[in-house]
Amino acid sequence: MTAPVQTLRLADAREAADLAAFLGRLIHYDRAAAVRLQAGGGALAVFGRPPSFEVLAIRTARLAESDEGVQLDVTVSAGELLESVEGAGLAVPAAVTGPPWAGLLPPRGGWRELPGLPGVAEMRAAVSVAVAEFRRRDEALPGERRTRAERDRIGRDIWSRTVAGTDLPLRAVHAAQSLGFLRPTPEGVRGAALLAAGGWLRLRTPFGSIAVRRAGLGGLTVTPA
């Protein structure tokens, strides 16, 4: 017997549209992307891992009052979830076998804010400078050295650099910009912040968060978006 499809109602259609945009950007980097969904406390958290950046991306959405009591924890296809979004609602697809990263998420609590994070404009400028450097160094490679391994080496050198006086790697900022998280903050809304908990760092903005382990999440193979 087929299990009934679970549906969720978000607080409004704008929440659903923002979530759909996030899922679309994840699929841009990985058409077979999976996301882990966690619902509780009146909110839905969606975790994804764009492979080009080696970070975890997190988008939250408020649930409608009727669904504030829903408890959910499942890994699903990002593409199927995106296709199910309609108005302020979505249908939770069938569970899939989760990729390894889905079993190791950042902690829910215990975060403390760290000083030294530049403003959004400064972070966007830093990414632009880094992308230009990557392209310049890539174009300067002689033909026999223009390989994936050499480009990965350049990427590791550039994107592992830290931002200002913090420990946040530049690849986390690049991911935040590419996923639409580094937008101008609406008036009266708190801007970006850098948080730490255990071995994790988290770049939080009003539009989503990027989390990265201090020791990294594996090999880095970044090319400019």
What tokens does 172 get?
A: 């986390």
- Cβ(209)–Cβ(203) under 8 Å? yes
Could you give the domains of the chain? 6-101 (3.10.150.10), 112-192 (no CATH)
Which pLDDT tens digits describe the chain residue by residue (225 residues)? 344 458 999 999 999 999 999 999 999 999 999 999 999 999 999 999 998 888 999 999 999 999 999 999 999 999 999 999 999 999 999 999 989 999 999 998 999 999 999 999 999 999 999 999 999 999 999 988 889 899 999 999 999 999 998 999 999 999 999 999 998 887 777 889 999 999 999 999 999 999 999 854 443 334 343
For residue 63, what are the β-bridge partners? 10
Helices and strands (DSSP H and E) totals, the chain: 5, 10
Euclidean distance between CA atoms 13 and 5, whole angstroms:
20
Whether this prediction's pTM lies above 0.85 is answered by yes
Q: In Å, what is the CA distance from 54 to each residue of 42, 98, 222?
A: 29, 17, 8
